[in-house]
A and B are shown apart, each in its own frame.
Chain A
C-alpha cells in the first residue's frame, strides 16, 4: 500500500495534489516537453529520476492530464499480437504493478481479468495466435472455450440464439484498470518535486529551426530556447509535428466512450469484442464504462454522436441484455491518432533534436509508464532503446510495419 495512504490513515499527513506555483518561463531549457498528458509527464519524471535531467519544462496548452489521459477508459493489458508489441506492453504492466509504491501516490491499479471474445472461427484462430505469441513472451494468456467464458464471467449472455454467439475468448487474467487521472497527477507531482517545471495554459504555436535542429519553441507566453524537444500531444501530433516540418503516418479520428449510472457490482472482468466493436467493465463506483471503435472518418475535434450509442448498444445488449434498463450518465470523446499498422510511433524524427511519442490510437494509456521511461532514456542518451526500435517513425518508408490491428482495433 502506498506510504502516503498509511500516513494519511494515521493522520500524519494529508495527501497532496498540489504543484508548485507556476513560474515565469525561463529563456532556455535542456528539454522542452510539449504536452502535459500522462506520456509527457511520465517522460519528465523518468528524465529527472533515471537520468538526473531536471532543467525540463512541460508545456501544456490547457491543464495537465486534461487531454486523452482524462478521457480514456483506463484499461491496461499486454495481450497484443506482435512480439514487439507484447514485449513493450509487458514492460509497461510491470511498471504499473509497483507504480503506486514508486510514486507514493495511489493510482488504483486493479487486476480484473480480461476476456477478448470470439464470435467466429476466424476470431478463434486470431485468439489462438495471440495466446501463443503471448505465452512465448511470458505473458499470461489462454484461449478458452464457451464453457470457460461462462464460468469466468457469469454475467455474459451465452445463448446461441443471438446474431453472434460467443464461441470462446482470449483470457488474460492479469488484465487491469488504473485511475487514469491519478497516473498523470502522480507523475506530475513527483517530477515537479525533482525540479521539472510544469507550465499549464501554455500552448506551443511554432518552432524555430536552424541547421536541421529546433533551436527555440514559440508559445503563447513567449519564446524559449531548447536543447531537445519531445512532443507527446496525442491527437494533435500531426499539427505539432507539422510546425517542425515533419509529416507523420497518422490520421486523427475521434474515439467515443460512455458510462452508465452506478449499478450493483455484477461484472468482474473486462469484456472486449473486436467483432462486435464494443467493450465494457464495471468501475469501483458501479458504473459500466463502455466504448467501441473509432468514428468512421477523421476529424480534428472531439464530439459525441448518436450513431456511436446506437451502434454500441445494439451489440452490448446482446452480450448483457440486463443493461437495457440502465440509464447512461455521460458520453464523451477524445482524439485518437491512428497509424496504418495500429502501432505507436516513438523515437527521433528526421530533425536532430526532435523526439516523438505519437500514434497512440485508442490504446496508449496502458503504455504511459513504459513510454515515459524509454522515451526519457532515448532523449537522455540520444540512443534508441531496443524496445522502441521497431516503432521508429520512418518505418513505413521501408515497409517495416508492426501489424497490431488484430489486437488493437477495439478494446483500447
Chain B
C-alpha cells in the first residue's frame, strides 16, 4: 500500500487521492483563450521532481504535493496557502 500524507487528514492510502495536474500559474479570467488552452491542455510532463495538485477525495480537500515522477517518491505535501503566496 502506498501512503500519502494529506496536510489536512494525515497519512492515507494513495487510493483515497485523485491527481489534479501540475501546479502552474492560472491565467486571468479575461486572458486570451490561447492562454487558457495552454493552461488546461499543455504540460511540462518532464521526468524529475514536479509540484502537483492532489485531491483527498473523501474530504474534497485540495493540496499540493512535490513528487519525483520518475521514482514515484512523494517528497513533501503542502497546504495550498503555504505554496501559493
Does residue A164 face the partner (Cβ distance < 8 Å to B)? no
Indicate if the CB atoms of B19 and A250 lie closer than 8 Å. no
B15: chain A residues within 8 A (beta carbon): 296, 307
A300 touches B70 (CB 8 A): yes
A249 proximity list for chain B (CB < 8 A): 41-43
Contact of A301 among B34, B37, B71 (CB under 8 A): B71
Can you name 15 extra interface pairs (CB under 8 A) apart from A301-B70, A301-B72, A399-B33? A238-B46, A239-B45, A242-B46, A247-B44, A248-B42, A248-B43, A249-B42, A251-B43, A298-B69, A300-B47, A301-B71, A303-B72, A397-B37, A397-B38, A399-B37
Name B15's closest neighbour in chain A (CB-CB).
A307
A63 at the interface (CB under 8 A from B): no
Main secondary structure of the interface of A (DSSP, over half): loop
CB of B8 closer than 8 Å to a CB of A? no
> What's the nearest-Cβ distance from chain B to residue A23, in Å?
31
Q: List A210-243 residues whose CB lies under 8 Å from chain B.
A: 238-239, 242
Q: Which partner residue on chain A sits nearest B48 by CB separation?
A: A300
Pair A340/B41 contact, Cβ less than 8 Å: yes
| B18 is an interface residue with CB less than 8 A from chain A | yes
A250 close to B45 (CB less than 8 A) = yes
Q: Which residue of A lies closest to B34 (CB)?
A: A397
Asked if A299 and B41 make an inter-chain contact with CB atoms under 8 angstroms apart, the answer reads no
The proximity string for A residues 249-262 relative to B, scoring 1 for CB distances below 8 Å and 0 otherwise, is 11110000000000
Interface residues as binary, A320-344 with B (CB distance below 8 Å gives 1, 0 otherwise): 0000000000000000000010000
Count of chain A to chain B residue pairs whose CB atoms are closer than 8 Å in the complex: 55
* Residue from A242, A252, A300, A397 with most neighbouring chain B CB atoms (10 Å): A300
Partner of A396, one of B41, B45, B71: B41
List residues of B (12-60) whose CB comes within 8 Å of A's CBs.
15, 18-19, 33-34, 37-38, 40-47
Given A307-B15, A399-B37, A299:B72 Cβ within 8 A: yes
List of A residues within 8 angstroms of B38 by Cβ: 247, 397
Contact of B18 with A296 in the complex, beta carbons under 8 Å: yes
**B70 — which chain A residues lie within 8 A by C-beta?**
299-301
Shortest CB–CB separation between residue B71 and chain A, in angstroms?
7
Residues in A whose Cβ lies below 8 Å from that of B72? 299, 301, 303
A238–B43 touching, CB < 8 Å:
yes
Interface size on B, residues (CB 8 A): 19
The 9 A-B residue pairs with the shortest CB-CB distance, nearest first, are A238-B45, A297-B19, A396-B41, A249-B41, A300-B47, A247-B42, A300-B70, A397-B37, A300-B69
Chain A residues closer than 8 Å to B37, beta-carbon distance = 396-399
Q: Mark A32-51, 1 if CB is under 8 A from B, else 0.
A: 00000000000000000000
A-B contact pairs, 13 of them (CB 8 A): A239-B46, A248-B45, A249-B41, A299-B72, A300-B46, A301-B71, A301-B72, A303-B72, A340-B40, A396-B41, A396-B42, A397-B34, A399-B37
Give min CB distance, B73 to chain A, whole Å: 11
Q: Is the CB of A296 within 8 A of B41?
A: no
Contact with B along A281-311 (1 / 0, CB 8 A): 0000000000000001111110100010000
Which of chain B's residues has its CB closest to A238's CB?
B45
Taking CB atoms, residues of chain B closer than 8 Å to A303 are 72
Q: Which residues of B contact A296 (CB under 8 A)?
A: 15, 18-19
Q: Complex Cα distance A252/B47, Å?
A: 10
Instruction: Give bound CA distance, A388 to B37, whole Å.
Output: 21
Q: How far is the CB of A399 from chain B (nearest CB, A)?
A: 7
Enumerate chain A residues within 8 angstroms of B19, measured Cβ to Cβ: 296-298
Complex alpha-carbon distance, A83 and B74, angstroms: 42
Residues of A within 8 A of B40 (CB): 340, 396
| Chain A residues with CB below 8 A from B71, complex form | 301
- Complex Cα distance A396/B37, Å? 6
User: Which residue of A is nearest B47, CB measured?
Assistant: A300
* List of B residues within 8 angstroms of A299 by Cβ: 69-70, 72
CB-nearest residue of chain B to A246: B42
| A340 contacts across to B, CB distance below 8 A | 40-41
- Nearest-neighbour CB distance to chain B for A397, whole angstroms, equals 5
Q: Which residues of A contact B44 (CB under 8 A)?
A: 238, 242, 247
In the complex, what distance in Å separates the CA atom of A340 from the CA atom of B40?
9
B41 contacts A298, CB within 8 Å?
A: no
Report yes or no: B47 in contact with A239, Cβ–Cβ below 8 A: yes
Name the CB-closest residue of B to A306.
B1
Residue of A nearest to B20 (CB): A297
